[in-house]
Amino acid sequence: MPLRNWIYSEVFHKDMNDFLEVSRNEFLFSKDEFISFRRDIQEITKPINKRLRIIWEEKNRVVKDIIDPFVKISKTGGIFKNTEKRLYQMIGDDLNEGEFNQKAFSILKECRNEDIEDENASIDRILKKSLKKIPLGEDKNVLIQIDSTIKETHEVSEITWDPEKEKVIVSISPKLFYPKKVLFLGKKFEVIYVAKKDKDPGISVNVDDQKVYINPFNNELCLYSVTSIDIMISLEVADVISNTKIELKDNFLRLVGIKQINVDKYMRPLGDDLRRTMALSK
């Protein structure tokens, strides 16, 4: 994080003890010598802090928006666990775990989008054939690239500062897009990222082969990131199991966590009374 000016003042002034009274927690900021030194320090630290601020903000933005969603997708209790919860709200009823899983798999077969299930289009395969560095995007303060030279490290990204260009360089390892193993509805599935078009579906679940294909270039996923996979799967299931728009709306409300509460016996009489009172008052 960017350092505060007082940190430089405390740590680096050779006569810092002359500015302290009783303990190191009490500062005599009114001392002319300290005020003068702090003014000088601020001039020195401005360019340093400017760079630190850019590095800090751009790193956080890229990690949060691009890297973390792919890292977290295979985490225990993550996106696919959320998907299970949403599906249970819609189709669980009083089913036991085994019955629910089988019913969910049956419906997911109907939602399948086989046109994106192309392992030749898997991102990891394509990256292995490509150049060592692939620029993803660049703006005023940051350059983002895929860099195969960091694939052997434990981290999926490296953040560096280019002093000549005055840019944050975010290098992402190809392993971020490698297939992942996830536990979904009691079975182990393999998540495969595929390079399909923005108008192609974002997801397809192959129940028989236990594979989930994700097209991260799909319009919705580009806008909301792969963290919205649980919503997308649930929406497709809601569409399949709904015969009317009213049912679709009801299933949508369930998948976003709105539980049905029967207050009809209270609200209907109240509505009748209010409308009756309104009619009498005219």
Confidence at residue 38, expressed as pLDDT on a 0 to 100 scale: 73
What are the counts of helices (DSSP H) followed by strands (DSSP E) for the chain? 10, 10
**Longest alpha-carbon distance in the chain:** 86
Distance, in Å, from the CA atom of 104 to the CA atom of 209, rounded to the nearest integer, reads 15
Q: What is the 3-state secondary structure (H, E, C) of 42-104?
A: HHHHHHHHHHHHHHHHHHHHHHHHHHHHHHHCCCCCCHHHHHHHHHHHHHCCCCCHHHHHHHH
| Number of Cβ within a 10 Å radius of residue 20 | 14
Pick from 203, 242, 202, 233: which is nearest to 220 by CA? Answer: 202
* Residue given tokens 């190191």 in the structure block: 24
Confidence at residue 7, expressed as pLDDT on a 0 to 100 scale: 56
75 beta partners: none
Distance, in Å, from the CA atom of 262 to the CA atom of 175, rounded to the nearest integer, reads 49
Confidence at residue 120, expressed as pLDDT on a 0 to 100 scale: 86
Distance, in Å, from the CA atom of 151 to the CA atom of 21, rounded to the nearest integer, reads 53
Which helix (H) or strand (E) segment holds residue 136: the answer is strand 133-138
Confidence at residue 213, expressed as pLDDT on a 0 to 100 scale: 94
Distance, in Å, from the CA atom of 251 to the CA atom of 215, rounded to the nearest integer, reads 25
Pick from 249, 207, 250, 255: which is nearest to 233 by CA? Answer: 255
What is the mean pLDDT, run by run of 10 residues, along the chain of 282 residues?
A: 55 56 49 74 80 87 86 83 86 84 91 90 84 81 86 76 88 89 92 90 92 90 83 84 80 66 67 76 69
Which stretches of the chain are assigned E, i.e. beta strand? 20-21, 23-27, 133-138, 142-147, 157-162, 167-172, 180-184, 187-193, 203-206, 211-214
| Strands of the sheet with 180-184, listed across from one edge | 180-184, 187-193, 211-214, 203-206
Count Cα neighbours of 97 within 13 Å in the Cβ-side half-sphere: 4
At residue 179, φ and ψ (nearest 5 deg) are: -55, 145
Confidence at residue 208, expressed as pLDDT on a 0 to 100 scale: 93
Pick from 83, 77, 114: which is nearest to 101 by CA? Answer: 83
Confidence at residue 209, expressed as pLDDT on a 0 to 100 scale: 94
Contacts of 222 (CB under 8 A, 6+ apart): 198, 216
